[in-house]
Amino acid sequence: MSPEALNSLFSLCIGFALAGALVNGYQAMARRPAGFGLLHEGVAPKTFAAVPFLVFAAPFIIMRNTLRGVRLERRRFEFVMMATIIAGFWSLMSGTFFVMTLRAAGLLV
């Protein structure tokens, strides 16, 4: 495996792990699952604070909603595949940003 492919795989895994940690931390604190409905609470400081949270938590939320939709609504394979690709790409990008931030801070070589 090339170093670039390994780096991308690492970023993908870090992105999903970060998303899962954020969503589970939110659920432990708020006692309700995180979702995109956080943006529908009007113009308030907590709505603006939800934007960066959702940027990094979105891959987990997308996959959770997709897998629940498969069980409850019998969603088609094409929809599930597209949602998986979107969540994977989103996770890759947020993981890449997180890894680059750690490298810039000197915490990762």
Chain segment 80-109, per-residue pLDDT in tens = 899 999 999 999 999 999 999 999 999 987
Residue where the block lists tokens 């956080």? 38
Give the global pTM.
0.83
Q: Which residue's entry shows tokens 């934007």?
A: 51
Task: Round to whole Å and give the CA distance between 69 and 63.
Answer: 10
Catalogue the long-range contacts made by 7-11 (C-beta closer than 8 Å, 24 or more residues apart): 7/99, 8/92, 8/96, 10/95, 10/99, 11/92, 11/95, 11/96, 11/98, 11/99
Where are the chain's structural domains? 3-104
pLDDT digits (tens, 9 = 90+) for 11-51: 999 999 999 999 999 999 989 888 887 777 777 777 788 88
